[in-house]
Amino acid sequence: MKKMILLFSYAFICFFSLFSELPAFGEKVSKEKLRGLIAGMDDPYSFERILRICEENPDTLSEVLFIDDRSNHYGRYNGLSFWQVLAWTGKIEIEKYFDVAIRLLLEIKFLAPTKLLDDEHRAVIKSLASFGIKPFKATPIYKDFASSLDFLIICIKTLNKYEFIKSAEVFDNILKQVDEIKNSCVKTDGKKKGETSQKLRSFINDIDSRKADLTDDCREVITKFTRNLITQIDSVDK
């Protein structure tokens, strides 16, 4: 009985300390405070509470991603997930999501611990490519399949902004291809669905062939994003 009381007391102290560390509603937090909360997130119930703090402090969250500290792995890894959720739920502009995520892709080799660099690198690319997937729940930024193509266009424009694309001519050609695919996919069922899927596959082949024109990261982001688009469109019932 005494042991049970001690265990209950310990659990209560841990529960109380968790909430005591959380800032009040609407309170601004420092990037170090937010980094600590995000990095120390060790139970699924804390996600919604910390997400609310991130929604109120999006600029601080973006700063957490770029803290130049090799011990910031979990702050950056978990923080990227929150950044992605803010974009999907319309709490930040989609352009802002891509700008920060692609800048992080550019700088990750300077920020991540060497032994965890591959994990963090894959996480950023996976996050970027996830916008080619239809969300499971209703979201203010997604209306139909064309929305995903809009996200790809924004992604490509941001990759170009940070010089992942090596010439204006190549950039214009890639955008033109995506615009043509978007204009042709008025419907995603029957023959039209098949045509769009084939055009996306041809687009991937073109991207893969441009090793001299695109960085490796650029080709990987665009091809994985586009494969998600193909999966999305092929999953539509005929």
Measured CA to CA, the distance from residue 40 to residue 14 in angstroms comes to 13
User: CA 46 to CA 18: how far, in whole Å?
Assistant: 9
Q: List, for the chain, all residue ranges whose pLDDT scores fall below the cut of 50.
A: 2-20, 188-190, 238
Contact 158, 98 (CB under 8 A): yes
Nearest to 155 by CA among 79, 211, 217, 213: 217
SS3 163: coil
Residue 43 amino acid letter: D
In this prediction, residue 15 carries a pLDDT of 40
Q: What integer pLDDT is reported at residue 10 of this predicted model?
A: 38
> Residue 122: its pLDDT value, please?
96
Q: Give the per-residue pLDDT at 236.
A: 67
The CA-based dihedral angle spanning residues 130, 132, 137, 142, taken in that order and rounded to the nearest 10 degrees:
130
Alpha helix stretches (DSSP H) within the chain: 2-21, 31-39, 46-56, 58-65, 73-88, 94-111, 117-129, 145-161, 168-184, 190-208, 216-234
pLDDT at site 44: 57
Q: Hey, is 214 helix, strand or coil? A: strand
Whether 124 and 105 have beta carbons less than 8 Å apart is answered as: yes
Going by C-alpha positions, the residue among 140, 157, 174, 149 that lies closest to residue 232 is 149
pLDDT value at residue 23: 58
pLDDT recorded at residue 166: 95
How much is the pLDDT for 120? 95
